[in-house]
Amino acid sequence: MPLGRKALKPKISHHPYEGLAVADVLGCNIHCVGMDEALAIAERFLSERTPRHIVTADASAVVIAQRDEEFRSILNTADLVVPDSNGVVWACRMLGYPVRERVAGVDLMDRLCRLAAERGFTAFFYGAAPGVAEAAARNLEAAYPGLRVVGTMHGYAPDSEESSIVARICALRPDMLFVALGIPRQEKWIHRNKQALGVPLAMGVGGSLDCFSGRVKRAPVWLRERGLEWAYRLAKDPRKFRKVAMLPNFALMVLLQSVSRRR
């Protein structure tokens, strides 16, 4: 049993949907959902047809939110914030919140594409290097017959093209929009354009398009189950060091938060 888990009685607020508990991790709202609940909420967003924003929060997102007020405010007003990493799941539990499981963004995107195929929803993939979104779309359409990715766009266009990208997505009227520009750029992009886009479900997906395109391999399941996906990603891509280097700081801040709560 981790330090003081039982002794903690956090003040739990509730998500407007399904009355789910909302965890406060270092001032960031994380919704205490598992995969099935996240999918049920996503289905509701798709039927309600108002623009909604899903954030997949990992430890780096929480650390970035400590110094980036705009990002923190976006995270705290998003329609759904899922616990994307084992680090965030650990932090929620450490602070006494009832988080059952990790909801990895890449897995949620995969399940949403399956749902889209089954229910006739369309999708748009925006972001990653040229060619990646198209390859991801081809692979997912092959995996889920019936899935229609109505458009793709790489993530390296100049900022001056933002309004024409938004207009293009708008014209295609997708039900789901997956944006892969990295944290916090993708969340800021979605937030800025959410109303203009009018897409019922928009979600930042980081490196997921790279995974679905086949260019980046996910860690083997046995490593994921042991919470070591970060080590695999670091070994494959040393540029991930900046992200991994945030983990000790994150853990320390969470420990301090849990200690200060028990005072």
Q: Is 181 in the site for ligand UDP (CB under 6 A)?
A: yes
Q: How far is the CB of 180 from ligand UDP (least distance, A)?
A: 5
Whose Cβ is closer to ligand UDP: residue 155's or residue 174's? 155
Whose Cβ is closer to ligand UDP: residue 88's or residue 181's? 181
Q: Is 155 in the site for ligand UDP (CB under 6 A)?
A: yes
Helix (H) or strand (E) holding 176: strand 176-180
**CA-to-CA dists, residue 152 to 120, 146, 192, 211, angstroms:** 18, 17, 19, 16
Non-local CB neighbours of 130 within 8 Å, separated by 6+ positions: 154, 156
Helix (H) or strand (E) holding 29: strand 28-31
Q: Is 183 in the site for ligand UDP (CB under 6 A)?
A: yes
Residues 108 and 198: their CA atoms lie apart, in Å, by 21
Q: Record the tokens describing residue 251, joined without a space.
A: 């853990």
> Is residue 99 within 8 Å of residue 83, measured between CB atoms?
yes
Binding mask 241-260 for ligand UDP (x = CB under 6 A): --x-----------------
Whose Cβ is closer to ligand UDP: residue 15's or residue 191's? 191
Residues 154 and 108: their CA atoms lie apart, in Å, by 21
Whose Cβ is closer to ligand UDP: residue 113's or residue 117's? 113
Using CB under 6 A, which of the segments 2-10, 23-31, 178-186, 252-260 binds ligand UDP? Answer: 178-186
Binding mask 71-110 for ligand UDP (x = CB under 6 A): ----------------------------------------
Beta strands 13-14 and 21-25, pairing class:
antiparallel
Binding mask 188-207 for ligand UDP (x = CB under 6 A): ------------------xx
- Pick from 81, 104, 180, 203 the residue near ligand UDP by CB under 6 A: 180
Residues 57 and 93: their CA atoms lie apart, in Å, by 15
Q: Angle of helix 59-67 relative to helix 246-261, nearest 10 degrees?
A: 80
Binding mask 204-243 for ligand UDP (x = CB under 6 A): --xx-xx--------------------------------x
Sites of contact with ligand UDP (CB under 6 A) = 127-129, 155-156, 180-183, 206-207, 209-210, 243
